[in-house]
Amino acid sequence: MRPADSAPSRRRFLAAGAAVGAGALVGAAAGAGAERAGALPGTPDRPDNAGVNGQRVIPFYGPHQAAVKARPGAFASFVALDLLPGVDRARLAAWMRLITDDAARLTQGRAALADVEPELAATPAGLTVTVGFGRGFVNRARGQRPDWLGPLPAFSIDRLEDRWSGGDVLLIVAADEPVTVAHTLRMLLKDSRSFAALRWRQDGFRRAYGSDPSGRTMRNLFGQIDGSANLAPGSSEFDAAVLAGDDAPAWLRGGTSFVLRRITMDLDGWDAADRAGRENSVGRTLDTGAPLTGGRERDPLDLDKSGPSGLPIISSVAHARRARVEDPTLRIVRLGYNYEDPPPPGSAALSDSGLLFGSWQADVNRQFVPIQSALDEADLLNVWTTPVGSAVFAIPPGCREGGYVGEALLAV
Amino acid sequence: MPAPNRVPRPRCVLSRAALMAAITLTLAACSSSGAGDDASSLTITDAWVKAAADGMTAAFGTIENSSDHDITITGATSEAAKTVELHEVVDNVMRPVDRGLAVPAGGFLTLEPGGYHLMFMGITAPFAAGDDVTVTLTLSDGSEVDLTAVAKDFAGADENYDGGMDEQMESASPEAST
C-alpha cells in the first residue's frame, strides 16, 4: 500500500469514532456536533441530515407572485424571452396558462405535465418561479402600459450591451438547489418554445443554504454586505414601496416592477484598494456592514458626524450616502445575486464577475430612477463597477388556483 | 402540502395522495351521463395531448375509478379528429386495444407515453401548444365522460404504429407532429 493511501483511511477511522462519541453525548444534535468534531459529513451508513431542506415548499398561489416576499433562493436564473411574430393576445394567454401550470406544480415538488424527468421535480428546495412582462408583451396584449415600462433613461456610467438588456418576458427561477433551478427552467422554456425565443440568460448565486443563518444580508464578490437598507417583507413599509397601487394599470395592481442591472465588478482594480479605501467607498465596515459612524448593520447612518480632520466620516460620495432614501415609500427593495462567468477567450482577465442587481419597486420612475441618477452623478463605487445590462419588467400579481399569471391583462 | 411521491409504485396505480394533489390543478372530467352510472365514477386529471400540426397525435392522463367495480373504456371520439383509438405500446410498437381499457375498482389507469394512450387519427386542425382538446370516452355501460387535454410541445411519444393499413398512418413520422 502506498503511504498516501494509509493516512486518509486512518483519519476516517478516527473521525468515525468521534462521530459516535458526539452522537452518544448530544443525541439529536449529533449531526452538527460531529461535524464540528471533525467527522466526515456523511457516509453510506450514516447520512448527514443536518440542514436538509430539499422538501421546503413555498406556496405558489397568492395575491403576489411568491418570490416578491419570499426569502431568496441561493441560486437564481434570470431569463428574458422575445415574442415570436404572430403570437397574438389569445396565444399569450395560452402560454401563460401553460407556464403557470408548470410553476404551480414544480414549486410544490410535483412533476409538470409531460415532464420527462419527474424525479428532478421532487426536491423543490424553496423553488419560486416569477413571470414579468416587458413593454413588448404589454403592447402585444394591447394592455395599458405603465409609463415606466421600457428602457431606463441613459446614465453616463452605463456601457450597456444588447446581449444583457431588454426582453419581452422575464422568468426568474430561484431555489436553494441548482439542479432544481436547471430542471424548472428547462421545463418552462420547453413550454415557451412555440411562443418566444430566448434573448438572454443570467445566472446568479448567493451563499448556499445552511452556510449562514437564514435572513442574513448577502455578501457580494467585493466582500461587502449588500442590501442592508432593505425593507422587511411583511411590513407596511415594504408593501407601500413594492406593491403597485391604484395609480398603476388595473391589471398590475398587487403586482410590482423589477429592474435587472448587470453590473461588472473590477476585481483586479478592487485588489489594489486597501481596506480603509474599500470601507470608505461604501461608508460601511466590511466585517459587519455597520455604518462607519458606528452601531450595527441596520442602524441609521450618521451623515453629519465628522472625523478629526473635520470631514464627514461617511464621505459625501460614499455609496451608502448617495443611495440613501429618507422616505421609506420611495425606497427600492434589492434582490442581488453574484455572478461569475469565465472571461472572454483570449482575455487576460481572471473572470467576468459582478452583481445581478435586481430591485422590486412599485414605480420605476418614482423610486428607481432618482436613486440611479444620484449614483450616476457621484458614487465612489463607480470606480470599480460598470452597468453592462439593463431591463425593466412589470411583475403582475399572483393568481388563484384555476387562474393564471397575467390573467387580468389577458382575459377576454 | 402534498409530499412528493418518493416510493416506487406500480405503473398504473397512483397513490391517493399523489392523485388528490393532481386533482387540485387540472380540469376534471365532466360526466355527460346521469348519476350512478360508470361515467359518474370516473375522474380524469393531468390530461394533456402532444401538440401536432396535422396527422396523428396522442393524449395522456390519469383516470380514477371511485366505484367498487372495474370500469372499461370501450371507445373514444373527438370533434378534433376523424377517429380516436385506444392504444397500447408493446415492444415500442403501438397497437389498438380491442378489448378496451380497464380502470380497476378504486384504482387508477395511467395513460402515458410508452404505455396506454388515446390515439388521434387525422386531426381536423393543428393542436397548438396551450390549446384545449376535448375527447369523449364511451364506457362499457354505455355512459360517456368528457376529458379536456391541454396541448403541449413534446418530443417523445413517437412510437411506431402497427395497427392497420389506413393512409393516415403514413404520416405518423416525428416530422408530422411539431
Position with higher pLDDT, A88 vs A17 = A88
Residue B158: phi and psi, rounded to 5, are: -110, 40
- Any CB–CB contact under 8 A between B129 and chain A? yes
Numbered residues of chain A with Cβ closer than 8 Å to any chain B Cβ: 55, 57, 91, 93-95, 97-98, 101, 104-105, 108-110, 113-114, 116, 121-124, 190-191, 193-195, 401
Residue A204 pairs with which residues in a beta bridge?
Answer: A76
| For residues A93-120, average pLDDT | 98
Q: What is the per-residue burial (b if ≥16 Cβ within 10 Å, else e) of A12-37?
A: eeebbebbeebbeeeeeebbebbbeb
Distance (Å, whole) CA A70 – CA A67? 5
* Banded model confidence at residue A47, pLDDT cuts 50, 70, 90: confident
pLDDT value at residue B34: 66
Decide if A303 contacts A312 (C-beta within 8 A).
Answer: yes
Distance (Å, whole) CA A380 – CA A318? 6
pLDDT value at residue B19: 42
* Banded model confidence at residue B90, pLDDT cuts 50, 70, 90: confident
Residue with cell 473590477: A266
pLDDT value at residue A212: 86
Decide if B88 contacts B163 (C-beta within 8 A).
Answer: no
Residue A133 pairs with which residues in a beta bridge?
Answer: A169, A394
* Banded model confidence at residue A41, pLDDT cuts 50, 70, 90: low
Distance (Å, whole) CA A392 – CA B37? 55
**Among chain A residues, CA nearest to B150:** A98
Render pLDDT for A120-175 as a digit per residue (tens, 0 to 9). 999 999 999 999 999 999 999 999 999 999 999 999 999 999 999 999 999 999 99
**Substitution target from B20, B23, B46 for chain A, most A beta carbons within 10 A:** B46
Decide if A91 contacts A104 (C-beta within 8 A).
Answer: no
pLDDT value at residue A45: 77
pLDDT value at residue A46: 81
Render pLDDT for A337-368 as a digit per residue (tens, 0 to 9). 999 999 999 998 999 999 999 999 999 999 99
Q: Which residues of A touch B26 (CB under 8 A)?
A: 113
pLDDT value at residue A359: 98
- Pairing state between β B93-96 and B160-161: parallel
Render pLDDT for A305-346 as a digit per residue (tens, 0 to 9). 999 999 999 999 999 999 999 999 999 999 999 999 999 999
Sign, CA torsion B59/B60/B62/B66: positive
Render pLDDT for B6-57 as a digit per residue (tens, 0 to 9). 333 333 333 444 444 444 334 344 445 567 899 999 999 999 999 999 999 9
* Banded model confidence at residue A15, pLDDT cuts 50, 70, 90: very low
* Banded model confidence at residue B98, pLDDT cuts 50, 70, 90: confident
Residue A40 has pLDDT above 90, yes or no: no
pLDDT value at residue B163: 55
What are the boundaries of each domain within chain A?
Answer: 9-25+57-343+350-398
- The reply to whether residue A193 touches residue B153, judged by beta carbons under 8 angstroms, is yes
Of the candidates A264, A101, A255, A262, the one whose C-alpha atom is nearest the C-alpha of residue A187 is: A101
Number of H helices, E strands in chain A: 11, 8
**Among chain B residues, CA nearest to A122:** B4
pLDDT over 90 for what percent of chain A? 84
pLDDT value at residue B24: 38
- Mean pLDDT score across all residues of chain A: 90
Which amino acids of A are annotated catalytic? 226
Distance (Å, whole) CA A22 – CA A35? 9
Position with higher pLDDT, B2 vs A340 = A340
CA separation (Å) from A322 to A68, A226, A389? 25, 15, 21
**Among chain B residues, CA nearest to A105:** B25
CA separation (Å) from B52 to A398, B94, B163, B176? 31, 18, 20, 7
Distance (Å, whole) CA A339 – CA A265? 10
pLDDT value at residue B130: 97
- The reply to whether residue A401 touches residue B128, judged by beta carbons under 8 angstroms, is no
pLDDT value at residue A39: 53
Distance between the two ends of chain B, CA-based, in angstroms?
A: 36
* Cell matching residue B140: 362499457
Write out the H or E segment, with its range, that includes residue A201. strand A196-205
Write out the H or E segment, with its range, that includes residue B89. strand B81-90
Helices of type H across A283-368: 319-322
The answer to which of A71-85, A104-118, A149-163, A201-215 has the lowest mean pLDDT is: A201-215
Q: How far is CA A313 from the centre of its chain?
A: 31
The answer to which of A197-201, B64-68, B173-177 has the lowest mean pLDDT is: B173-177
Distance (Å, whole) CA A199 – CA A79? 7
- Any CB–CB contact under 8 A between B108 and chain A? no
Q: Which residues of B touch A101 (CB under 8 A)?
A: 25, 150
- Select the residue of B1, B2, B130 nearest A94 (Cβ to Cβ): B130
Residue B65 has pLDDT above 90, yes or no: yes
- In B50-69, the residues whose Cβ lies within 8 Å of chain A are 50-51, 60
Of the candidates A286, A271, A290, the one whose C-alpha atom is nearest the C-alpha of residue A384 is: A271
- Any CB–CB contact under 8 A between B35 and chain A? no
- Any CB–CB contact under 8 A between B153 and chain A? yes
Render pLDDT for A171-221 as a digit per residue (tens, 0 to 9). 999 999 999 999 999 999 999 999 999 999 999 999 999 898 878 899 999
ipTM of this predicted complex?
A: 0.83
Decide if B94 contacts B140 (C-beta within 8 A).
Answer: no
Of the candidates B139, B26, B27, the one whose C-alpha atom is nearest the C-alpha of residue B86 is: B139
Sign, CA torsion A268/A222/A378/A284: negative
Distance (Å, whole) CA A137 – CA A159? 25
Residue A35 has pLDDT above 90, yes or no: no
- The reply to whether residue B4 touches residue A101, judged by beta carbons under 8 angstroms, is no
* Banded model confidence at residue B162, pLDDT cuts 50, 70, 90: low
Residue with cell 444620484: A374
